[in-house]
Amino acid sequence: MLGRAPGVRTILPAGDLGWGKPDMRARAQPRGLYGEGVPNDLVIVANRLPVDRVELDDGEPGWRRSPGGLVTAIEPVMRANQGVWIGWPGGTEKGLEPFEDDGMSLVPMSMSDEEISGHYEGFSNGTLWPLYHDLVAKPEFHREWWDAYVGVNKRFAERAAELASEGATVWVHDYQMQLVPQMLRELRPDLRVGFYLHIPFPPAELFQQLPWRRQILEGLLGADLVGFQLPGAAQNFVRLVRQRVGHKTHRDLVYLPDGRTVRAKAFPISIDAAGFEALAQTPEVADRAAEIRAALGSPRKVFLGIDRLDYTKGIVARLRAFSELIRDGHLDVEDAVFVQVAVPSREQVEQYRILRDDIDRLVGRINGDLGRIGRPAISYLHSSYPREEMAALYRMADIMVVTPYRDGMNLVAKEYVACRFEDDGALVLSEFAGAAEELRQAWLVNPYDINGMKAALLEAFRAEDRDLTKRMKAMRKTIRQHDVAAWADSFMTDLGDIRSSHGKPVRPARRS
């Protein structure tokens, strides 16, 4: 029989994913209600809160909604459960009190400069991010970064242990928090702990480079359920646990010497498909889409890329492919334009600054070589936008181009599909994005193969309406059936279904 995590509602309201409001939020009121005696049946632990600490227009400190896939996906679950969310709001301000923002109970965790550079910029984004994304960049291994990672994970685990009510469910998120499940279990064995990894989990051949591989695996094994985007990632994890920690495993289960069972399973994340579709259909979004197209000079077709500015996303490769199509005479700037939105991200990390400069230079060169007056080949925007503007861009674009070298899922691809309520538009999608496992009717490309990408871009450009409709209809059906509510529901249901003890004899753990 399928169970549910006790006291946790899994049915989510359709609608707002949180980008619908203007960027600047009203100052939130501190609540100061947490701690002993206040029941929190669901605790979300993530590196970031869904809001950033910023200076408001009047110079006073306030909160602004922060971008990114994790926030977009978790926020509806939080709202449905009235749980509490523990995370870092950005910056180094100390002594921030728990508060309520837009109906969510948020507990800010402060970070020192040393913790930001060691835990966040260092171990999370300089070691784990490139390692888990197939070494697209070279990971750096530094012992001080690891120490900071352990320290921050410990503080988050202790805070969660303080806040969770007896027998509560704690849902820990992503690569920055992989030690929290085990630390939490030691502090509070009564809790039910789920972990979800939003990025890929690498094959053993890459993971075993990590000097702290065993600690990370043991950290994750503190959870009852470890969720991944794709089945391959769950298999990588189980194989590594067997090889490196020496626990007995069977299919998606790990049997621990203490009698616990841990399940490792894929839960492909999704979006609020109905909410995006409804937004795309509003007259305001329609007007704005028409306005953007007119501002671009009403070209026959518009290509679109929207990404966090990240080296995993394959922005350079796709712009190069597009520009070569113009240079080769297959496309003309009177007919086609590429709109590339690069959302600022991790700007303190050296590799991200270098990438930004590379893209600036490339766009300048392409436009200098191939553009005409009033007709740039690439319209490049380095900025973030409200959700309505994103929907207008999705609605306006004929060909969405999503070409990461490796991506856990890629919500942008799914959002585009959700917004195409007239069953038109083309999606060119990297086969290395998790989304490619579901969106089979996209033009699937290998982002390392520039000629292959050029061919796919051109095919999508020239595709007949009938073909576009057939493909888009099928993809929209998939997205409607597997939305973020279904994702959260299946994770919570499986978490509730975990038996606390397997009762099997197990071999003692081997050292790696």
Our finding on whether 386 is near ligand GDG (CB under 6 A) is yes
Q: Which amino acid is at 256?
A: L
Taking residues 422 to 441 in sequence order and writing x for each that binds ligand GDG by CB under 6 A, - otherwise, the string is --------------------
* 69 makes contact with ligand GDG (CB under 6 A): yes
Query: Which of 102/332 has CB closer to ligand GDG?
Result: 102
**Of the candidate residues 384, 403, 430, 441, the single one contacting ligand GDG (CB under 6 A):** 384
Q: Which two tokens stand for residue 335?
A: 């007919």
Instruction: Report which of 230, 236, 235, 175 is spatially closest to residue 203, judged by C-alpha positions.
Output: 236
Q: Which is nearer to ligand GDG, 19 or 338 (CB)?
A: 19
19 is a site residue for ligand GDG (CB under 6 A): yes
In the bound state with ligand GDG, the residue whose beta carbon lies nearer, of 40 and 72, is 72
Q: Nearest approach, Cβ of 408 to ligand GDG (angstroms)?
A: 3
Total binding residues toward ligand GDG, as defined by CB under 6 A: 24
Distances in whole angstroms, Cα of residue 73 to Cα of each of 18, 125, 230, 411, 461: 10, 21, 16, 9, 31
CB of 242 to ligand GDG, least distance (A): 26
Residue 87 binds to ligand GDG (criterion: CB under 6 A): no
Q: Which residues make Cβ contacts (< 8 Å) with residue 364, sequence separation at least 6?
A: none
Considering only CA atoms, which of 275, 277, 271 is closest in space to residue 482?
Answer: 271
Stretch that binds ligand GDG, among 89-97, 351-359, 408-416, 423-431 (CB under 6 A): 408-416
- CA 175 to CA 470: how far, in whole Å? 38
Supply the minimum distance, in Å, between the C-beta of residue 434 and ligand GDG: 6
41/388 with CB nearer ligand GDG:
388
Closer residue to ligand GDG (CB): 199 or 377: 199
Tell me which residues in 314-373 interact with ligand GDG (CB under 6 A): 343
Three-state SS for 122-172 is HHHHHHHHHHHCCCCCCCCCCHHHHHHHHHHHHHHHHHHHHHCCCCCEEEE
Q: Is 68 in the site for ligand GDG (CB under 6 A)?
A: yes
* Token digits of residue 180: 């929290």
- SS3 state of residue 65: strand
Q: In this structure, what is the dihedral angle of CA atoms 154, 498, 77, 395, given to the nearest 10 degrees?
A: 110
* Closer residue to ligand GDG (CB): 325 or 343: 343
3-state SS assignment for residue 375 = strand
- Of the residues 243, 385, 444, 450, which one makes contact with ligand GDG according to CB under 6 A: 385
Beta strand pairing status for 426-430 and 443-445? Answer: parallel
Sheet (strand 192-196) strand order: 29-30, 99-101, 104-108, 84-88, 42-48, 169-173, 192-196, 225-228, 261-266, 253-255, 248-250
- Cβ atoms of 265 and 225 within 8 Å: the answer is yes
Stretch 187-216: interaction string toward ligand GDG, x if CB under 6 A: -----------xx-----------------
Q: Which string of DSSP letters, residue by residue, matches 272-336?
A: -HHHHHHHHHSHHHHHHHHHHHHHTT--SEEEEEEEES-GGG-HHHHHHHHHHHHHTTSS-TTTE
Q: Least distance to ligand GDG from the beta carbon of 415, Å? A: 5
Subset of residues 256 to 285 that bind ligand GDG, contact rule: CB under 6 A: 269
| Separation of alpha carbons 440 and 475, rounded Å | 8
Under a CB-based contact definition with an 8 Å cutoff, are residues 210 and 173 in contact? Answer: no
Query: From residue 382, how far is each of 111, 306, 314, 339, 360 by CA, in Å?
Result: 27, 10, 16, 11, 9
Nearest distance from residue 249's CB to ligand GDG, in Å?
A: 25
CB of 349 to ligand GDG, least distance (A): 14
Q: How far is the CB of 107 from ligand GDG (least distance, A)?
A: 22
Nearer to ligand GDG, 68 or 151 (CB): 68
Task: Tell the smallest beta-carbon distance from residue 274 to ligand GDG (Å).
Answer: 15
Piece of the chain touching ligand GDG by CB under 6 A; list 8-16, 64-72, 328-336, 440-448: 64-72
Q: Interface with ligand GDG by CB under 6 A: which range of 65-73, 142-150, 216-224, 369-377? A: 65-73
**Per CB under 6 A, 73 contacts ligand GDG:** yes
Using the minimum distance from each CB to ligand GDG, give the nearer residue, 158 or 389: 389
- What sign has the CA pseudo-torsion 307, 311, 315, 318? negative
CA distance 363 to 510: 53
Candidates 308, 420, 454, 471; binder of ligand GDG (CB under 6 A) is: 308
Give the residue from 282, 280, 192, 275 showing the smallest Cα distance to 485: 275
CB of 480 to ligand GDG, least distance (A): 17
Is residue 407 near ligand GDG by the rule CB under 6 A?
A: yes
In the list 101, 224, 272, 415, the residue contacting ligand GDG (rule: CB under 6 A) is 415
Return the residue of 47, 410, 430, 441 that touches ligand GDG, per CB under 6 A: 410
| Sequence-ordered list of residues with C-beta below 8 angstroms from that of 187, at least 6 positions apart, any chain | 157, 158, 161
* Rounded least distance, CB 342 to ligand GDG, Å: 9
Q: Which residues bind ligand GDG (CB under 6 A)?
A: 19, 67-70, 72-73, 198-199, 269, 308, 343, 384-387, 390, 407-412, 415
